[in-house]
Structure 1
Amino acid sequence: MSDAQQKGHADRNHSQSQPQPQTASVPATPIRFGTDGWRAVIAEEFTFANVRRVAWALAEHLEATGRAGQGVAVGYDCRFLSDRFAAAVASVLAAAGIPVLLSRSACPTPALSWAVVSRKLGAGVMITASHNPPEYNGFKLKGWFGGPALPEETRQLEAILARQEAGRAGAAPPAGLDLTEARRLGRVEEADLVGPYVQQLRNLVDFERLRAARLRLVADPMHGAARGVLADLLREAGAEVTEIRGEFNPSFGGLAPEPIARNLGPAVETVRRLGAQAALVTDGDGDRVGAVDATGEVLDAQRIFALLLQHLVEVRGWRGSVVKTFAGTRMVDKLAARYGLPFHETPIGFKHVCEYALKEDVLIGGEESGGIGIKNHMPERDGLLCNLLLAEIMATRGRTLGEQVAALMAEIGPHYFQRRDLHLTPEGKNRLMALLRDDPPARLAGWPVEKVDPLDGYKLIFGPSRWILFRASGTEPVVRVYAEAESPEEVGALLDDGLRLVESATR
């Protein structure tokens, strides 16, 4: 790790061992795990007391499942108080006699996951709200396999929380063990989680091919936990790298650290100004991938998923199942069929992809949001690995990412995708979902609806390359509307008509 990176990590790592505030209040609402952990607004529901309660429930769960003795890795991102929340988790687990491996600095989520796998631990906890706005924080739970805790496990944790809260109404959560004492007793080990993870990435990516290409790249960690890490890896691979948004900034510059087009203006501007071949982007905790082409066009995660699948099969020669979540592009379906690979579609949430990876040989699995996992690593999303593989694609093909996308769509047909997020009241969301369930439209934007798929939300399907999906978010007060079609104009027409449907249903 470079001196600059060490310094950057150090300025995030403050006051871990200080006493934490406590409260005797009971949570206003039950703690629920969504598609990827529990998330809430800092100081409203995401408090030290509630974080301790979740850690307390996790300790009981690990004891019940026989994994407590294996230990737990605890990491954190760059959000406000994330290091203090992580310290609170470590103190509660240590008080329960569970060995804790605590990251000594902010780290990407895949680095935390790799620590669980490489050290054969019983679980992992990552304090992060990932791509959510800066006022949020969260508690991601990782299973012994390094991937997101499976639905049955989070249900068990919620049941323990409910039972504990009912039985201890008005009681404060456990204070935990002072970290200085926990270190003395050997129950908490502070460790570098980034270094071993970086070595794993070196094992997975063709650095020699990258060095020969001498790419000019922009690294954009969006002020998140990958700051310094991705840029240093690309420099090690021989690229000329300019890092932007690499400063420690818990407000993320006023934007949600999500690598989608509306948040990538700085990356677009920098690519154009420098004449770079691409900008490679990660989200707030480093498990999602985004990219900007040499022309300044943002490559959405759908196209990135397709490019990675093509590269792994045609260049690496790897095979295995292909798994995508419900809002994913049909390009993936078509490529899986072309290569003769088993294909699965799951509800939204990488935990469903992970379930397949634990029972069969999965080549690649991912979500429309940019969370993509790769074979021979771990059943978890990894934004840094995916970005390094995008650089490997450019080095191998001698094309920019945009040129490669154009060549791929010339082979399998055009696919264009957009997403819009609508902030609705709970009542409005319920009315919309009831309408789509009970009385979906027969036509939208002039196309007849051939099928309504209710796997996760409601997807109206108009043919092999056109669809629109309405889905209520599991982590935010939002309904997301996704659409794919054969031209930008068709996507726009679908979304415009879809939004009119939302307005009429929620008046």
Structure 2
Amino acid sequence: MAEIKFGTDGWRGIIADDFTFDNVRRVAGAIASYVLKNEDCRRGVIVGYDTRFASQRAARLAAEVIAAGGIPVKLASDVTPTPAISLAVRQQGAAGGVVITSSHNPWNWNGVKFKGKFGGSATPAIMKKVEDELHANAMPRNGPAAATADVDLKNAYIEAICNFVDLKLIAKANFKFAVDSMYGSGRGVLARIFGDHGIKHVTIRQELNPLFPDINPEPIIPHIAMLRQTVVKEGCHAGFATDGDADRIGAVTEDGSFVDSHKIFSILLHWLLERKKWPGEVVRAFNTTHMLDRIAAKYGRKLHECPIGFKYIADLMMEREILIGGEESGGIGYGRYLPERDGILNSLLLANVMADRGKPLGQ
């Protein structure tokens, strides 16, 4: 039996070698046991999944295992971005969330993420307890199985992120955007928002294809080559890409140049402090740019440095008033919204920055 190890954001493995239905059962059983011992299990667990091979089946299996422990489960009725699951956990007061995804990894990987009741990556302390249950081979049975309901989780998510930005201003700016979902679970979401608000856009790689043809669903070079070409060919003012489960962002300027996560984080931080003047401190993973330190210092904001893994950022967001937190991989989140990274929300915020300044992304 393959050994299960939790990394910076859950467990991942190669499909059929490590990621097997037996191992999904084991992880789901450990999560159920954690919830029964440490949370109000009556609040239930929300389960979602991405576009990968067997993700939907694995999600239903995880839901069945958790429900067998007497914990009510709401299962996403369709492929859903990971941050939408996190938001649903907090909005609905659930005890936690489970997402079947392997994020930005190659097509032959899959995995499980666990979200805390606060709506973000489970903290190191929580994951230690889940690991303890896993090592004990926990598989709880708590009387009759609880109910499992299939629910839509996208509409509430779209409403929430739309309320976080000024879509009227973005539409008025008359910019044109390219949207690349990289065959991932963000498919159709940003395009729907742009379309509903009269914002000009073109789309690529929105279709369901678990092979992720010729790429890993990671919004960095070389995997965003098609986005760079599309931006130039279609005369767009910027292009936005989200990873396999839509919690990370990559961006492209009007001339096809790649904007890395360090620059995106810096652009957003500077705009929030200079123009929005939102309160709060800043937190960054230790491998991100020190430009953030200089920006924070200029505006008199305390900056925290943390280990790699958004769970450490989420932990700080619950302890302190954090304006923004991010990591080198393109995951950026906001304390006043949710202790979770969100590639779709950050795409909208970059569009908001452009509209507010009246300039394409590269300027």
Percent identity over the alignment is 45
Q: How far is the alpha carbon of 1:175 from its aligned partner?
A: 11
Mapping for residues 238-253 of structure 1, pairs under 5 Å = 238-253=198-213
Give the match for residue 159 of structure 1.
132
Give the match for residue 345 of structure 1.
305
State the alpha-carbon separation in 1 of the partners of residues 305 and 39 from structure 2: 32
Are the counterparts in 2 of residues 92 and 176 from structure 1 also a CA contact under 8 Å? no
Mapping for residues 65-464 of structure 1, pairs under 5 Å = 65-164=38-137, 187-403=147-363
Are the counterparts in 2 of residues 210 and 238 from structure 1 also a CA contact under 8 Å? no
Change (3 A) 1:97 1:351: same
Question: Which one has a bigger Cα radius of gyration?
Answer: 1
State the alpha-carbon separation in 2 of the partners of residues 218 and 163 from structure 1: 48
Bigger drift between 207-216 and 110-119 goes to 207-216
1:134-191 deviation per Cα after TM superposition (whole angstroms, max 9, x unaligned): 11101000000011011111111111111228xxxxxxx78999xxx97xxx611111
Q: How far is the alpha carbon of 1:201 from its aligned partner?
A: 0.9
Change (3 A) 1:104 1:175: farther
Q: How far is the alpha carbon of 1:41 from its aligned partner?
A: 0.5
SS in 1 for 2:179: strand
State the alpha-carbon separation in 2 of the partners of residues 354 and 201 from structure 1: 18
1:354-375 deviation per Cα after TM superposition (whole angstroms, max 9, x unaligned): 1110011100000011000023
Q: How far is the alpha carbon of 1:66 from its aligned partner?
A: 3.2
2:2 is matched with which residue: 14, 17, 28? 28
SS in 2 for 1:262: coil
SS in 1 for 2:113: strand
Q: How far is the alpha carbon of 1:67 from its aligned partner?
A: 2.5
Change (3 A) 1:86 1:231: same
State the alpha-carbon separation in 2 of the partners of residues 100 and 115 from structure 1: 12
State the alpha-carbon separation in 1 of the partners of residues 123 and 298 from structure 2: 31
SS in 1 for 2:7: coil
State the alpha-carbon separation in 1 of the partners of residues 221 and 293 from structure 2: 24
State the alpha-carbon separation in 1 of the partners of residues 346 and 40 from structure 2: 31
Q: How far is the alpha carbon of 1:238 from its aligned partner?
A: 2.5
Are the counterparts in 2 of residues 215 and 239 from structure 1 also a CA contact under 8 Å? yes
Number of equivalenced pairs = 363
1:381-426 deviation per Cα after TM superposition (whole angstroms, max 9, x unaligned): 01111000000111110112111xxxxxxxxxxxxxxxxxxxxxxx
State the alpha-carbon separation in 1 of the partners of residues 293 and 285 from structure 2: 11
Mapping for residues 16-55 of structure 1, pairs under 5 Å = 27-29=1-3, 31-55=4-28
SS in 2 for 1:195: helix
State the alpha-carbon separation in 2 of the partners of residues 398 and 239 from structure 1: 15
Cα RMSD between the aligned structures? Answer: 1.7
Q: How far is the alpha carbon of 1:237 from its aligned partner?
A: 3.2
Q: How far is the alpha carbon of 1:203 from its aligned partner?
A: 1.0
State the alpha-carbon separation in 2 of the partners of residues 298 and 192 from structure 1: 34
Give the match for residue 58 of structure 1.
31
1:52-100 deviation per Cα after TM superposition (whole angstroms, max 9, x unaligned): 1111111111111132121000000000010000000000111111010
State the alpha-carbon separation in 2 of the partners of residues 162 and 308 from structure 1: 41
State the alpha-carbon separation in 2 of the partners of residues 298 and 93 from structure 1: 42
SS in 1 for 2:276: coil
SS in 2 for 1:137: strand
Q: Which consecutive unaligned segments of at least 5 residues does structure 2 have?
A: none
Amino acid at match of 1:96: G
1:227-272 deviation per Cα after TM superposition (whole angstroms, max 9, x unaligned): 1001111223332111101110101113110000211110011011
1:433-477 deviation per Cα after TM superposition (whole angstroms, max 9, x unaligned): xxxxxxxxxxxxxxxxxxxxxxxxxxxxxxxxxxxxxxxxxxxxx
Change (3 A) 1:239 1:105: same
State the alpha-carbon separation in 2 of the partners of residues 110 and 331 from structure 1: 27
State the alpha-carbon separation in 2 of the partners of residues 254 and 341 from structure 1: 43
State the alpha-carbon separation in 1 of the partners of residues 237 and 49 from structure 2: 32
Change (3 A) 1:48 1:174: farther
